[in-house]
Structure 1
């Protein structure tokens, strides 16, 4: 029974970490959207008559912060796409099995 509880506690802690990472990403996304909306309004209000809004300096923050946001999204959501859902656990079991086989060979 203790083994079951330990496994449950481990899974609970893992789920708790994933929720924390998700919450961090969504907070980052919300800040990105709100700040860039404010920047758009500030930039529009400072345009001279006949001047186009579509200039690089008006998208500088959104572009580079967007790269950071994309990296954050990949770190939160993308690891399952790259490594598969159970990749980490399978690798751990593989390493443990290799270590056990090496110990058996030396005994």
Structure 2
């Protein structure tokens, strides 16, 4: 019974994480679409062509950096860690255990 309760709590926590990510992604799309449209319209009013306004570097600064944050959020909830995976951790532990064995043998 206790094990089932723990599984249920983990499932609820996982769903809450996914919901948070989906909300984050939806807000990202809505807000950045509006920001890009406003920026393009302002640039066109200031005499730029559509192409100049669209390809202006400053048009995509906010979506770019916010997109990096969204990517990190997605990687976190998907439990993908490209930098410090379980295999990397296991290799590091083995390396340090082996090094300790060598150090202990030196001092015997």
- Band the TM-score falls in, shorter-chain normalisation: 0.5 to 0.7
Question: Normalising by structure 2, what TM-score?
Answer: 0.67
CA distance in 1, matches of 2:55, 2:16: 37
Deviations, residues 43-77 of structure 1 (Å, cap 9, x unaligned) = 12112233611121100000000000000000011
CA RMSD of aligned residues (A): 2.0
- Unaligned runs of 5+ residues in structure 1 are 85-107
In the comparison of the two structures, how many residue pairs are matched? 80
Are 2:72 and 1:71 aligned? yes
Structure 2 residue runs without a partner (length 5+) = 88-108
Indicate the structure whose relative CO is greater, using CA pairs within 8 Å and at least 6 residues apart. 1
Normalising by the residue count of structure 1, what TM-score does the alignment of the two structures yield? Answer: 0.67
